[in-house]
Structure 1
Amino acid sequence: MTSPTSDDALARLADVVLSVARELDPTGPRAVDVVPLTGTEVLVMRWVDTNPGTTPSATADATALRRSNLSVALGSLVVKGMVERRAHPDDARTAQLFPTALAAESIGVLRTRWAETLRAALHEQGIEDDAVVSAVGLLERIEQGLRPSRDG
């Protein structure tokens, strides 16, 4: 049986995650060649990109945004050319959301930049690929654990 992780270790983990996130911030000063987005727009865009065809209701639920805040973010993303709204093929009253080619291009630029930045940092520290795979798995499990359960 393993002992529980100390509060100090968990707080340090959160602090490091936030520090890394600040270095990779897609809304930060280094994001000069991508479509500028607010933090809320990034949250919505991330969901739409990984769930093409999603609905506004599902997006609001998944991002824990109020419908009014989601509506403003979606409107802005549409104006910026990042999201396309389409009528659902089976129910024209329902909108579906899809990332655009411009969104794919901006996201591709960000992913390339993130990979280059992290590769350089990992190389400098002598960190091996298997450690990255383990870290990703751990962080994905933490992310899942932080989301409220929708099963009941």
Structure 2
Amino acid sequence: MEDQAHQTGPTAGPDHEQRWAELADLVLIISREIQFRGYTDERAVPLSPSEGMVMRYLQREPAAPPSRIADATGLQRTNLSTILGGLERKGLVERRADPGDGRGVTVHTTERGRANYTLVRQEWAAAVSEAADHDTEHLDAALTLLTAVETGLARMRPRNRATRPAAET
């Protein structure tokens, strides 16, 4: 194994490795804090982390077959089916027969689903902004970095499902 002290580049060395680990820890902690917080608006429909991933995807793709949703979110198809059932019961999505393929279905966001996503994003924004004392000095840099990390992680996601994801807690 190569000694990290001899590596070069912007991500080389033990100091950078520790800082990347700290960033990952903070992202997980922030996500958890947002989940624990809940919502102040009684109209908000709470979502599990997996339901949130599906709804985020469906904001960009308001109608998609389950296979595409599973691929985009990294969820197992069997788990996705359960998640979609829960979202349907909450009135946030609906499954419709695919007009191009009579055997397939397409998942669509409902008006309630779109409104709920807008509402919970507003709540998240208010909570995160307040937690940061409304300091926006480094907000654009943080968004740029976190977007790059999210894009890179999605690109590197194992496609064969042989690699087990970390347990959801």
For the residue of structure 1 that corresponds to 2:64, the secondary structure is coil
1:120 Cα deviation (Å)? 2.5
Q: CA RMSD in A?
A: 2.3
Distance 1:136 1:114 in 2: 15
TM-score by length of 2: 0.74
Matched, 1:139 2:146: yes
- Deviation per residue, 1:24-43 (Å, 9 max, x gap): 22xx3423632133222222
- Over the matched positions of the two proteins, sequence identity in percent amounts to 36
Matched, 1:24 2:31: no
Consecutive unaligned residues of structure 1, counting only runs of 5 or more, are none
Consecutive unaligned residues of structure 2, counting only runs of 5 or more, are 1-7, 160-169
TM-score by length of 1: 0.82
For the residue of structure 2 that corresponds to 1:92, the secondary structure is strand
Correspondence list, 1:3-152, <5 A: 3-5=10-12, 6-25=16-35, 28-31=36-39, 33=42, 34-122=44-132, 124=133, 126-128=135-137, 131-148=138-155
Distance 1:83 1:125 in 2: 34
Larger Rg: 2
Q: How many residues align?
A: 146
Moved over 4 A (4+): none
- Report the CA distance shift for 1:57/1:126 in structure 2 as closer, same or farther (over 3 A): closer
